[in-house]
Amino acid sequence: MDKKRIAVPLVCHGHSRPVVDLFYSPVTPDGFFLISASKDSSPMLRNGETGDWIGTFEGHKGAVWSVCLDTNALRAASGSADFTAKVWDALTGDELHSFEHKHIVRACAFSEDTHLLLTGGIEKVLRIYDLNRPDAPPREVDKSPGSIRTVAWMHSDQTILSSCTDMGGVRLWDVRSGKIVQTLETKSSVTSAEVSQDGRYITTADGSTVKFWDANHFGLVQSYNMPCTVESASLEPKYGNKFAAGGEDMWVRVFDFHTGEEIACNKGHHGPVHCVRFSPGGESYASGSEDGTIRIWQTGPLTHDDTESVAANGTVGKVKVSAEDVSRKIEGFHIAEEGKTKEKETVNE
């Protein structure tokens, strides 16, 4: 293989079980951050640029299926198999709220204005919690036709998007009426749904296809067949000219948005890839796998020579960061000693 095309990722160890969800914060005055969900029950926060571990949120008693950060990266949320969704202080690691559910919580999302938390899961109910009144009962949106796999907010928090584990399609709900206003039809169940940073596109992965939908008129813009069953796809946020996808064959691929042509194919994971997400500036993308690792891949122009393409490589994600980059995050983050030892290279399932 042409050496110039070989990407050397930053490898982030720390999780002891499969990594099933990743979420990047927008760019904040302190940089941007990456949070990961794992079946080991301990979501982790990292510096989004370097992959450096900042802290672990400790408190769940079951696999964590979904994680997110609010717009300012000041709070994190997680949905778990322990029948709870938790909201955390992302500066200290403290648990702020724990919302009880009657079954596994598979998906969670902060509203754009950061005041609401949306959850969904096996119960087939979308719940909206008012974080200004966390003791108040949540608003429950009409029953979903199936077990909820993904959720997202759209249209300045006026619309909710959800997909189901056991049936195809993406449903769009009007928040005010609580009714489904549109269904985007797919053959297989949608395992990943992402609203683009500029609000123009919805990117979905279903079976072995990645589709792009017009987020305002809901027409299908592009549909591409992938080389294998893909579990996750993410559109490059700055130019929207390429997308990354990962799935059961363990490779992380990048494709041209306009033609579907494969631009890059990165090997490194030792298990199926469960989640792929672009960083907010599009300069890198992260993948999480059954092997328990997160890999951060630099995009960079394809004309890069060897030296440039691996410049960002650190041995295993232990990159030196300038102190001010993450001082505000690390300050006061409760890091248990056991949490620190999790940094060992545990890659077992």
Share of the chain residues as helix, strand and coil, in percent rounded to the nearest 5: 5, 45, 50
Distance CA(183)–CA(164), nearest Å, equals 12
CB 85 within 8 A of CB 68: no
Q: b/e map of 116-141 (b: 16 or more CB within 10 Å)?
A: bbbbbbbbbbbbbbebeeeeeebeeb
pLDDT in tens, 215-264: 999 999 999 999 999 999 999 999 999 999 999 999 999 999 999 999 99
pLDDT in tens, 36-58: 999 999 999 999 999 999 999 99
The two tokens of residue 218 are: 């809901």
Close Cβ partners of 316 (under 8 Å, ≥ 6 residues apart)? 11, 12, 13, 345
Q: What's the whole-model pTM score?
A: 0.86
Superfamily of domain 196-301: YVTN repeat-like/Quinoprotein amine dehydrogenase (2.130.10.10)
Counting other chains too, the contacts that 205-213 makes at CB distance below 8 Å and 24 or more residues apart are 205/230, 205/231, 205/232, 205/233, 205/245, 205/247, 206/168, 208/247, 210/243, 210/245, 210/255, 211/184, 211/186, 212/243, 212/257, 213/170, 213/184
Residue count (the chain): 349
Domain boundaries, the chain: 196-301
What tens-digit pLDDT sequence spans the chain (349 residues)? 344 456 799 999 999 999 999 999 999 999 999 999 999 999 999 999 999 999 999 999 999 999 999 999 999 999 999 999 999 999 999 999 999 999 999 999 999 999 999 999 999 999 999 999 999 999 999 789 999 999 999 999 999 999 999 999 999 999 999 999 999 999 999 999 999 999 999 999 999 999 999 999 999 999 999 999 999 999 999 999 999 999 999 999 999 999 999 999 999 999 999 999 999 999 999 999 999 999 999 996 533 333 333 323 332 333 333 444 444 444 555 444 334 333 333 333 3
The two tokens of residue 343 are: 């940094």
Of the candidates 45, 84, 47, 48, the one whose C-alpha atom is nearest the C-alpha of residue 64 is 84
Question: What count of Cα atoms within 13 Å lies in the side-chain half-sphere of residue 202?
Answer: 31
Residue type (1 letter), 9: P
**3-class secondary-structure state, position 306:** helix
Helices (H) and strands (E) in the chain, counts: 3, 27
Of the candidates 208, 186, 190, 178, the one whose C-alpha atom is nearest the C-alpha of residue 149 is 190
Start-to-end CA distance of the chain, whole Å, equals 30
DSSP 245: E
